[in-house]
Amino acid sequence: NSKLRHVEKDVLIPQIMRERAKELCSDKVQAFTKCCQETGLLMVVKCRQENAALKDCLVGYYTDPLFYEECKTEYLKQREEYRATGIKKKRQKLTSNV
């Protein structure tokens, strides 16, 4: 059964999209974080480039219909597994070799 409830379409799948997008844009997340840590209170002014790059990367994934379908498929697999076993499985985070 691949019918989706309102909360699944509007909350759960976008949540997976945000997590995966952050993983896929991890280099930009790290650059922005580093800039913020180095500049302190002036981060609003000094980290505009890093913030813009991060925002562009994330929005690119959020608006990609193919990426949405990938995340929807992942959610449906998780839901099917949960319904079969009753055990909720946490998503494994991608590890970087840094």
- Judge if pTM exceeds 0.75: yes
Task: Give pLDDT, residue 92.
Answer: 56
CB atoms within 10 A of CB 15: 12
- Apex CA 94: angle with CA 29 and CA 19, to 5°? 55
User: Where does the pLDDT of residue 86 fall: very low under 50, low under 70, confident under 90, or very high at 90 and above?
Assistant: confident
Q: Decide if pLDDT at 24 tops 90.
A: yes
Phi, psi of 2 (to 5 degrees): -105, 15
First-to-last CA distance in the chain? 41
